[in-house]
Amino acid sequence: MRKIILSILGILIIIASFFLAKQIIDSKSRPKAKVEKVVKTVFTETVANGIVSIIVPANGNLRAKRRVELYAEVQGVFQKGNKLFKAGQPYGQGETIIKIDASEYYASVQSSKSNLYNLITSIMPDLRLDYPEVFPKWQAYLVGFDLDRTTPPLPEMTTEKEKFFISGRGILTNYYSVKNQEQRLRKYRISAPFTGILTEALVTEGSLVRSGQKLGEFINTEIYELEVSISKTYSDLLKIGEEVELVNLDQNKTYKGVVARINGSIDQATQTIKAFIDVRNKDLKEGMYLEANLNAKQESDAIEIDRSLLLENNQIFVVRDSVLDLIDVKPVYFSNKKVVLKEVPEGTTIITRPVVGAYAGMLVKVFKGDTAKNLNQ
């Protein structure tokens, strides 16, 4: 009997231990936390369609509109002038930039002029006897002939006999030979065709200059031109004489330019057309980088938004009763940061900042206050 009682007590103890262990295990389980639904805040604005000016950006480097590459047409030693032949040296119009030693050639020219003078002198007795009516004008020509000055034009020959006589004595041939030498003598001196500055100097005083050698480059600093390439879409919208705003690389200075020329052909590779903008300012320099904003056209019933808000399938997010939705739009112009849209319903509430993980049907909360307005500006 005792053994039976002990067996029953052992079984009861085991059962009690099982239930006690189960209760202890259940007491250690934590209740699952409730997941709260997150509602994202979005910045919005109400669509008000209007006129949007399409500004076509372009850029390029300034070049002087008037520039001259200096080349030697004769050979000789580069003589020292009143100013050093160095880059950055200014010259006034007509001032001598380069002077090449022409003493040897000058003596040759003087010899040819002397021969012409002697030749005319030799025919004077014949003119006095055979053509007394033309003798006075040739006599006057000899009196005014100065070897130290440019050879004066020959007297006008009025009769055929006079022409044959003068030509037969070789005077015409000698005269034009002298004039040709005088023209070549002028090439030993290169003067400034306009007021400007020397931007490149490839020779120094005392060096030997050879015919055909490049000596330097000279530009006019009063007016520059900016060459820009724009899409052929807007080629017919640009007009010569239209004012253009130009901005420097640091975005801290603006200049006013004018469209001076528009190329008549389109670049086949890039499908762009070149326009040339004239600009005047004392602060401008050759090679300066400028950005131009060309007023191409105006789109009516359109809005302008950030490009990041336009989806790949030409859709944008709108807010309807605190829920995101998608609508189709028609983009008409893309810039680096903006896109111009049409066919956006008037009064529609659109988002003005991208929303991470946005999808149609997403519950959102519209931010209200001055901060949203300021961020959208």
Q: pLDDT of 109-134, one tens digit each?
A: 999 999 999 999 999 998 888 888 98
Residue 28 placed within a domain = no
Model confidence at 29, pLDDT cuts 50, 70, 90, reads low
In this prediction, residue 332 carries a pLDDT of: 84
> Are 122 and 237 contained in the same domain?
no
For the cut 70, the answer to whether the pLDDT of residue 219 exceeds it is: yes
In this prediction, residue 193 carries a pLDDT of: 93
In this prediction, residue 237 carries a pLDDT of: 67
Q: Tell me which residue range forms the domain holding 117.
A: 104-185
Q: What are phi and psi of 168, to 5 degrees?
A: -65, -25
> Are 178 and 151 contained in the same domain?
yes
With CA atoms as reference, report the closest residue to 185 among 105, 97, 104, 113. Answer: 105
For the cut 60, the answer to whether the pLDDT of residue 5 exceeds it is: yes
Q: Crossing angle of helices 103-130/135-143, nearest 10°?
A: 150
* 317 neighbors 344 (Cβ within 8 angstroms): no
In this prediction, residue 72 carries a pLDDT of: 94
Average pLDDT over residues 143-147: 90
For the cut 70, the answer to whether the pLDDT of residue 1 exceeds it is: no
Strand order in the sheet with 67-71: 67-71, 214-219, 196-201, 90-91
* pLDDT tens by residue, 311-332: 888 999 999 888 899 999 998 8
Model confidence at 42, pLDDT cuts 50, 70, 90, reads confident
Tally the domains of the chain: 4
Q: How far apart are CA 258 and CA 273, in angstroms?
A: 17
In this prediction, residue 369 carries a pLDDT of: 52
> Are 196 and 92 contained in the same domain?
yes
Model confidence at 25, pLDDT cuts 50, 70, 90, reads low
Residue 22 placed within a domain = no
Residue 322 placed within a domain = yes
Percent of the chain having pLDDT more than 70? 89
Residue 34 placed within a domain = no
In this prediction, residue 198 carries a pLDDT of: 95
Mean pLDDT over each residue of the chain, to the nearest integer: 86
**Which of 12-26, 76-90, 253-267, 312-326 is the least confident region?**
12-26
Average pLDDT over residues 170-179: 93
User: What is the separation of C-alpha 367 from the centre of its chain, rounded to a whole number of angstroms?
Assistant: 44
Q: What is the C-alpha R_g of the chain?
A: 45
The pTM score is 0.65
SS3 176: helix
> Are 280 and 342 contained in the same domain?
no
In this prediction, residue 370 carries a pLDDT of: 43
> Are 360 and 309 contained in the same domain?
yes
* pLDDT tens by residue, 66-99: 999 999 999 999 998 889 999 999 999 999 999 9
In this prediction, residue 375 carries a pLDDT of: 35
> Are 253 and 351 contained in the same domain?
no
> Are 180 and 110 contained in the same domain?
yes
- The better pLDDT of the pair 72, 233 is held by 72
In this prediction, residue 63 carries a pLDDT of: 93
